[in-house]
Amino acid sequence: MYELEYPAPDVHDGPGDPTLIVALHGYADAGNAIYASSTHLLDALEHTKLATFHNDELIDYRSRRPTAFIDANQVVDIDPMDIGVDLLRDINNRPFLLLSGPEPDMRWEAFSDSVLKLVKDFDIKQTICLYSAPMAVPHTRPLVITAHGNEPALLKDYYTLDAKISLPGAAQLHIEHTLSTNNHTVTGLTAHVPHYVANADYPQATLSLLQALERSAQLTLPLGTIEQDVEKASIQLAEHTDTTPEVQHVVAALEQQYDEEMSRYNERKQAAQIEGGLPANPEDLPSGDDIAAAFENYLEDYLPEDSTDLPPQEDTEPDD
């Protein structure tokens, strides 16, 4: 299913144990945050290919057609849509692995088993999967990152969804389940993106996910260009909001809902901290039950009951 580079690079040549980051775009990629995160890491950091998966075993080209390029009346190139694992090094030369590319259409169980084998063969101690979900939250409030996983100590700096939810499966979720059932540490980080910008690039989600990676994987990443993109996008959103009464109405309603949840959260914050149920230094967040309900409602609205197709924004994913 995959081929290793030969000779394989030494993934432990550097400070600390390397983390595997899984950033497969095509599912739960609101604001194109997953694609942008992986692309930024590969563009900004030194990296070496470690493993390449066989696309013909994993991709349904009829449902996700690669881009072809014609020049001088000839087909000169076709987008490879690579799914692979790269060894990267952060600013301080700390190594980490990145599994990136389009989400496989087929053979999720075999794909997850292959990732498990890579984790075992290269003695990876921790895996972090990235997600970005459209939620009923305003862009004028701090972006929320929620976490889930099988190691409570790694979740303490994040808000967690303390509720039982069901959602369509994904290759990354299969990877999480496979790693967890084989006693490997795995964490999922989800950026909550305002639903009205889910189909467009939303750099704030990318920045927040990469900042969360810095904390969870003890990495130091170059984020200056993304911070500039966030500033530009914020100005554009503010201008659009100021000139569009309909958007102002939606944002105001979301702000009120958000602030009411924050007020209720603050009222029970001290007691929850004593009981250990919430992080000591949380971001501005709505309640777990409301977040879970909002996500489930979104999926019910946009997914047919008898289909596992992705929400509409996934169909317009950017090319690799």
CATH number of residue 125's parent domain: 3.40.50.10900
> pLDDT tens, 37-71?
999 999 999 999 999 999 999 999 998 898 999 99
- SS3 for 140? coil
197 contact partners, CB below 8 Å, separation of at least 6 = 31, 139, 237
Residue 317 lies in a domain: no
Taking CA atoms, 71 is separated from 74, 76, 77, 182, in Å, by 5, 6, 9, 49
Q: Is a pLDDT exceeding 80 seen at residue 280? A: no
- SS3 for 43? helix
Mean pLDDT for the stretch of residues 160-183: 90
- Would you state the pLDDT for residue 271? 54
Residue 8 lies in a domain: yes
Distance, in Å, from the CA atom of 241 to the CA atom of 252, rounded to the nearest integer, reads 10
| pTM given for the model | 0.82
Residue 247 lies in a domain: yes
Domain ranges, residue 221: 2-276
Taking CA atoms, 213 is separated from 208, 216, 219, 249, in Å, by 9, 5, 7, 34
Least trusted range by pLDDT, from 233-237, 238-242, 264-268: 264-268
- Would you state the pLDDT for residue 262? 67
What kind and span of H or E run contains 85?
Answer: strand 84-89
Cα dihedral value 10, 13, 16, 18, nearest 10: -20
Confidence of residue 318 (pLDDT cuts 50, 70, 90): very low
Q: Mark out the alpha helices in the chain (DSSP H runs).
A: 33-44, 55-58, 108-121, 171-181, 203-217, 224-243, 245-275, 288-302
Own/partner contacts of 233-241, CB < 8 Å, gap of 24 or more, are: 233/201, 233/202, 233/203, 233/204, 234/139, 234/204, 237/139, 237/197
Residue 87 lies in a domain: yes
Confidence of residue 274 (pLDDT cuts 50, 70, 90): low
Residue 121 lies in a domain: yes
Distance, in Å, from the CA atom of 92 to the CA atom of 214, rounded to the nearest integer, reads 12
Mean pLDDT for the stretch of residues 97-117: 97
- Would you state the pLDDT for residue 74? 97
Report CA 262 to chain centroid distance, whole Å: 24
Count how many domains the chain has: 1
Residue 311 lies in a domain: no
For residue 312 the two structure tokens come to 């509409």
Least trusted range by pLDDT, from 12-26, 78-92, 264-278, 300-314: 300-314
Mean pLDDT for the stretch of residues 138-158: 90
- Please answer whether residues 35 and 28 qualify as being in contact, where contact means their C-beta atoms are separated by less than 8 angstroms: no
Confidence of residue 301 (pLDDT cuts 50, 70, 90): very low
180 contact partners, CB below 8 Å, separation of at least 6 = 149, 150, 186
Residue 313 lies in a domain: no
Return left, alpha or beta for 14; rule: phi > 0 is left, psi -120 to 50 is alpha, else beta: left
Least trusted range by pLDDT, from 49-58, 67-76, 207-216, 281-290: 281-290
For residue 288 the two structure tokens come to 């777990």
Residue 174 lies in a domain: yes
